[in-house]
Amino acid sequence: MVDLRSDFVGIKSPNPFWLASAPPTDKAYNVVRAFEAGWGGVVWKTLGEDPAVVNVNGPRYGAIHGKDRELIGLNNIELITDRPLEVNLQEIKQVKRDWKDRALVVSLMVPCEEANWESILKRVEDTEADGVELNFGCPHGMSERGMGAAVGQVPEYIEMVTRWAKKHTRMPVIVKLTPNITDVRKPAQAAKRGGADAVSLINTINSIVGVDLDLMAPNPTVGGKGTHGGYCGPAVKPIALNMVAEIARDPETYGLPISGIGGVTTWRDAAEFLALGAGNVQVCTAAMTYGFKIVQDMIEGLKDWMEDKGYDSIDQVVGRAVPNVTDWQYLNLNYVAKAKINQDLCIECGRCHIACEDTSHQAITNMVDGIRKFEVIDEECVGCNLCVNVCPVQDCITMEQMPVGTIDPRTDKPISADYANWTTHPNNPSSANFEPAE
């Protein structure tokens, strides 16, 4: 029997699916609807100090679409909540009272003064919310005022504010990180040093989602001008997965709980985040695209998959793929694979051929004995996987590992059973086996 119950830094929820701090969690009305739909928890949209911020009254979102208007990436220039602090606090209190089994975390963003943080933390504590999330990620608007990503981009500030937060509240403190940095491990390490109970990532990515070529201005355009916004949705998932994995496997932050965010749209996305070390996931764009009902498939899908795989609980999944994330230099250079095209499945579109011919290794035919036919030339194939990725037919092209002892026709060398990586390679100047060029 699969148990989806989640315990994230002591915050319990019936499932690991939380709504991220964002427009869907700005008011009790939305949050109650989310809980009714089955969401395990929410991070309430970021509270700030009064007077509340204001938002633009024109478009706040822009998007990248597929041809059938599939929403691939979303960009927003909305700020933190524009409702009075007290209204939000009262609603949070009421919702938590009504929904005791759900996680209710409050996102916060105030100026970088200890007194400001102390003050708001006390007021949040009075709501009996389960925890706080420090918004060090918002990349637009607030960062111009020295908050959000402006803090998240300076590890020393992260550490300092996290320390204040831990000092002034008994609630778990989650630090939300910005991806708009060069090495995500640094802010994560800073959060840990400051005493954070967890980090959550990624916040949105600085972006201009498109240019209106008639107005000659970025999208979304407000009165003829545009500004960079925060990018999210399915398009950012790979970036988020990498950042989560980097923190999960970094010796300095190893074991630090992570709430995974960034393009989670399906149960499979969630499973991938969990596998790379996230203790739970937070969702926004998918809910904003389809409504709250999507959580039901996430719950059932994750449950069914875990059952198929024999996992009983979330913690059996969390981090399971982390040991297999490594640096390039440790990849086994004696592993050799060749592409193989299943001729029964091939529909002869020729994309594998032209991709390989024009842009790679000239290792796929387009004609065999005068007949249109696409076959891999093992003598040329480096096993790059490009053909697999451009083939429109699932599983038509596969990468087949060459068995140990056989001869790689490209190099004329036998496939070795030994593990050998760059660190020991003769071309590597830092390797003990280094053989300088003639």
Partner 1 sequence: MADTLTAADIRSGRLSDEVLKDNFSDLHPRLDPHEAAVEADRCYFCYDAPCMTACSTSIDIPQFIRQISTGNPNGAAKTIFAENILGGMCARVCPTETLCEEACVREKAEGKPVRIGELQRFATDHFMETKEGTSFTRAAETGKRIAVVGAGPAGLSCAHRLASHGHQIDLFEAKGKMGGLNEYGIAAYKSTNDFAQKEVEWLLSIGGITVHSGMALGRDLSLERLQADYDAVFLSIGLGGVNALRAEGENLENVEDAVDYIEDLRQASDLSKLPVGRDVVVIGGGMTAVDIAVQSKLLGAENVTIAYRRGPDQMGASKFEQDLAQTNGVAIKFWSKPFAIKGEGGQVSGIELERTELNENGRLLATGDIETIPADMVFKAVGQTLVTKDIAAEGEGLALEGDRIKVDEQRKTSLTNVWAGGDCVAGGEDLTVAAVEDGKVAAEAINAVLTA
Q: Which residues bind partner 1 (CB under 8 A)?
A: 66-69, 347-351, 353-354, 366, 372, 392-393
Cβ of residue 209: shortest distance to partner 1, in angstroms?
A: 17
Closer to partner 1 by CB, 68 or 369: give it: 68
Rounded to a whole number of angstroms, the minimum distance from the CB of residue 353 to partner 1 is 5
Which of 249/351 has CB closer to partner 1? 351
The nearest distance, CB 395 to partner 1, in angstroms, is 13
Query: At closest approach, how far in Å is the CB of 211 from partner 1?
Result: 14
Q: Which is nearer to partner 1, 112 or 354 (CB)?
A: 354
Question: What is the three-state SS of the chain?
Answer: CCECCEEECCEEECCCEEECCCHHHCCHHHHHHHHHHCCCEEEEEEECCCCCCCCCCCCCEEEEECCCCCEEEEEECCCCCCCCHHHHHHHHHHHHHHCCCCEEEEEECCCCCHHHHHHHHHHHHCCCCCEEEEECCCCCCHHHHCCCHHHHCCHHHHHHHHHHHHHHCCCCEEEECCCCCCCCHHHHHHHHHCCCCEEEECCCEEECCCEECCCCEECCCECCECCCEEEECHHHHHHHHHHHHHHHHCCCCCCCCEEEECCCCCHHHHHHHHHCCCCEEEECHHHHHHCCCHHHHHHHHHHHHHHHHCCCEHHHHCCCCHHHCCCHHHCCCCCCEEEEECCCCCCCCCHHHHHHHHHCCCCECCEECCEECCCECCCCCCCCCHHHHHCCCCCCEEEEECCCCCEECCCCEECCCCCCCHHHCCCCCCCCCCCCCC
Taking the least distance from each CB to partner 1, the nearer of 213 and 432 is 213
- The Cα–Cα gap between 106 and 117 comes to 13
Catalytic residue among 138, 232, 387, 396: 138
Nearer to partner 1, 67 or 170 (CB): 67
Of residues 62 and 279, the one with the C-beta less far from partner 1 = 62
Minimum Å gap between C-beta 351 and partner 1 is: 6
Q: Which two tokens stand for residue 423?
A: 């660190």
Rounded to a whole number of angstroms, the minimum distance from the CB of residue 280 to partner 1 is 35
Rounded Cα distance, 357 and 227, in Å? 41
Closest to partner 1 by CB, 350 or 414? 350
Is 356 annotated as catalytic?
no
Q: How far is the CB of 69 from partner 1 (least distance, A)?
A: 8
Is the Cβ–Cβ distance between 271 and 15 less than 8 Å? no
As annotated, the active-site residues are: 138
